[in-house]
Amino acid sequence: MALIATLADGLGTDCVPFLNEAVERCWNSDHLRSISMAVAHFPTDAAFGLLLARMDNKHIRPALQEAMQRCPARALRLLAEAGLKDGKNAPAARQLLNTHVTLNSTLLPQLLSQLDAKAAELVRSLDGARERVAEASPQALPPLLASPPWTRKRTPRKPQVLSGLQPDDTRRLEWREGEREQWAGHPSGGWEYPPTTDWDQEARKILKGNYGLWQTTRLFKQGPVEVLTPWLETWRPEDLWGGQESFTPVVAKYGMAALPLVLKVAAANPAHLTPLLMPFLDLGAARLMADGLIRLKSVQTTARSWFARHGIAAGLMLVPDALGQPGPARKAAEQALRLVASTEGADAVLAAVAAEHGGQAAEIVAEALAVDPLEQALPTRIPALPSWVQPAVLPQILLTSGEALPDEAVRHVLTMLALSRPGDPYPGLTVVSEACRADSLAAFAWALFEEWRQAAMPAKESWILQTLGPWGNDETVRRLTPILRDWPGQGAHHRAVEGLNVLAEIGSDAALMHLHGIAQRAKFKALKVRAQEKISEVAEGLGLTGEQLSDRLVPDLGLDPDGTTVVDYGTRRFTVGFDEQLRPFVLDADGKRRKDLPAPGAKDDQELAPAERKRFMALKKDVRTVASDQIRRLEAAMVTQRSWTAAEFRELFVQHPLVWHLARRLVWLADVDGTATSFRVAEDRSFADVNDDAFTLADDATVRLAHPLHLGDTLPEWSELFADYEILQPFAQLGRPVLRLTREEETANRLHRFEGCKVPVGRLLGLTKRGWERGVPHDAGIERWFSKRLAEGRHLVIALDEGIAVGVVDMFPDQTFETVWLDTEPCDYWSSRHYPLRFGDLDPLTASELLADLEAATAQ
């Protein structure tokens, strides 16, 4: 290594191909680091380019940084070139360029003269090239940022012990609305036991024979509760792989009888199985959650949700531990009580403690709650900041007075962030948020996040991702969402789940809109499910259902009441409107339609025009997200016949400045006392019937979207009216095909007309946008079926040949529909099973939509 470094200057470019091959052939990380560091000593563009092309490799990154320091001019030029390209490394190159510019600010005038015009323009636009804001004096800082508690000697607190208290041994189940049904409906797959099964004998065979988790949970799910409960209470499985999916239907079916099992498996695998305890209020569960709150990062989010769900009752269970001998159990219980007090109120908690355990217990708990949170939250060892976190390369944090925090104060802020836990920020961060400008905190948090990504997202510094929660804004949401959508495909599912918590914590309309979008359309099923759970938590906190929350998450994006906005360039003004797909269009001052908003010109206001164009570009991105989601949701609402009250319809559809563009291009039904009348929303937001006469929507009416099946003889008239007005619909409604089952199919369980059809796998996966779901992976990671939920306990299932390979969906480019049938849950087809469901039991609308999906998929 030393010899290569010494000879590098003399060898020149001749050895770069050799070193490139050496990098490609490296067989371990140590060799890769050594070879790449040798490359860093070659003073050539080719050598630097070799490292730059592999900047996403954490073992090569130190060598790239070494090369940047050795030749700042070359680094500036080549990083700018990479940042101007459209390749996958461009964002990372711009991030590195910004850091490089910041660290070499004194050389910047000299370095800029060596760049071409485009590269120089890029460099000047970076945060690192801007003039630094003057730093505030120590006297102008909040005391916390000048002298935080970890820089001072701490006074230990001697806890009071109150022995003899008996813990509350209450045990009960608290299900949320629809939660138990959701857990019960979790697919287990496989065949069903015959009615003649001897369940005691089968349980003895399965449990004594050490069968796998899948076979055992299938036994408990299908067998009678009264026979299998004693077996469940003594079952202690060792194989816990896939446990959450396997255990949830068992918990739903057996309730409290499943608690001993759940406590055992949650303790054995807390990171994955603690969520099984969510509906249980129990001392053992409380202790597990409290322990996870302070000890296990993987459990903290679940634990906080559990205590929020069970409130003061959960806290009371831990009072004896909180007043016991000092140790881990007391520390965990005290922290849990502080958490409950933060949401329920300290006075309410203390009153409950006094009523349950007496005044002395309440006094000791009050003392624990009154500990200075800034000192109480400090661990024994203050975390050290990584070397790659440098205040000098991050955007300045600005005080509300306009001055910037000094580097030392920024390090204190970073330490507070490192002390924070998911959902439990260090209390001093509130002081920072109040003293500093929100926009500068958002920019600082995002730059810090990008530095973490550049460092290969080390787990030890995952607190950086959480920083985006309290300080992020809508721009953060727009940047973060595509990243966390992709993380599961990069082996970072856990990071993606943490990202969902960040979106929920930001909590703006835009953040919840994107969170809902992930819950509906994420291509990774596990991430999609967790997003749905997070949306449900948010909805419950607001007293809404998930769908009701989704209705209210559509942002107005600052549009005028008529659904337009004006872009003002100073000398020119443009009106932005939206078509039937919510695609924006631009009108000149004279009403002439343009393809796009023009770039600012020399005569336009040089400050106002660029800002307005930037606003327009952000608006386009946001509307694109809203459009795909709302069109899909409205079509799904038509298929499921979801309804709204008249007041909700007016507020959420007619008066909304964006959604009304879609609402006025559809036909609606008003139901009053069992009578349905079709109507539309006119351009002036009034209502009209099929004869184009004024229609009055009754206050007690319920409103839903019309399906062609419901329009009967008026369907041709509505189609003609929309054609006359040249109204284009956002999705097929009036022109939607209406299909029907044959008489033979109505009495059958299978749709033979589609069996044997070959379908391209891409077309099949396209049906997931219409509510279809991929099957559970089995042998060799193959998904053997494809299904759609039609109603509770009713699914249309397609057995596939060869099946879809997880992670390599094009391994089998064509899928053959082996069997198409109705079942109570998605699973394999077994010819020996009895299938009682019949297609004739489906309502005509469901049958028509199902047939339309299958015909579209199998069309030649």
pLDDT in tens, 171-181: 899 998 888 88
| CATH hierarchy code of domain 172-376 | 1.25.10
Quote the pLDDT of residue 438: 92
With beta carbons less than 8 A apart as the criterion, state whether 578 and 585 touch.
yes
Residue 562 CB neighbour total at 10 angstroms: 13
N-to-C CA span, the chain: 62
Could you report the per-residue pLDDT of 291-350, keeping only the tens digit for each? 888 777 678 888 988 999 999 999 999 999 999 888 888 888 988 998 899 889 889 999
Domain locations along the chain:
2-129, 172-376, 629-724, 743-858
Confidence of residue 5 (pLDDT cuts 50, 70, 90): very low
Quote the pLDDT of residue 741: 96
- Bridge partners of residue 704, in order along the sequence: 643, 669
Higher pLDDT among residues 541 and 477, named by residue: 477
With beta carbons less than 8 A apart as the criterion, state whether 694 and 675 touch.
no
Is pLDDT of 385 > 70?
yes
Q: How far is CA 621 from the centre of its chain?
A: 18
Confidence of residue 19 (pLDDT cuts 50, 70, 90): low
Mean pLDDT of 444-472: 90
Could you report the per-residue pLDDT of 188-232, keeping only the tens digit for each? 444 677 888 899 888 888 887 767 777 788 888 888 999 999 988
Q: Which single residue is written with the structure tokens 């994420």?
A: 522
3-state secondary structure of 657: coil
Please, what's the b/e burial string for 758-795 (b: 16 or more CB within 10 A of its CB; e: otherwise)? ebebeebbebbebbbbbbbbbeeebbbbbbbebeeebb
Quote the pLDDT of residue 45: 86
Confidence of residue 155 (pLDDT cuts 50, 70, 90): low
Q: Which of 525, 482, 527, 475 is nearest to 501 (CA)?
A: 527
Mean pLDDT of 625-636: 86
Is pLDDT of 263 > 70?
yes
Dihedral of the alpha carbons of 382, 385, 386, 389, in degrees to the nearest 10: 170
Mean pLDDT of 603-611: 89
Separation of alpha carbons 177 and 549, rounded Å: 15
Could you report the per-residue pLDDT of 815-829, keeping only the tens digit for each? 999 999 999 888 889
Quote the pLDDT of residue 9: 47
Quote the pLDDT of residue 1: 43
Tokens of residue 622, six digits = 């946001």
Q: Which of 17, 56, 19, 47 is nearest to 34 (CA)?
A: 19
Could you report the per-residue pLDDT of 740-795, keeping only the tens digit for each? 999 999 999 999 999 999 999 999 998 988 889 998 887 678 899 999 999 878 99
Q: Which single residue is written with the structure tokens 């390749």?
A: 87
With beta carbons less than 8 A apart as the criterion, state whether 775 and 796 touch.
no
Q: What percent of the chain has pLDDT over 90?
A: 37
Q: For the whole model, what pTM was predicted?
A: 0.60
Higher pLDDT among residues 516 and 617, named by residue: 617
Could you report the per-residue pLDDT of 88-134, keeping only the tens digit for each? 778 778 878 878 777 777 777 777 777 788 888 887 877 766 777 88
Quote the pLDDT of residue 772: 92
Contacts of 134 (CB under 8 A, 6+ apart): 403, 404
Quote the pLDDT of residue 436: 94
Quote the pLDDT of residue 11: 47
Task: Please report, for residues 298, 311, 486, 538, the alpha-carbon distance to residue 482 in angstroms, rounded to integers and kept in the order given.
Answer: 23, 35, 6, 21
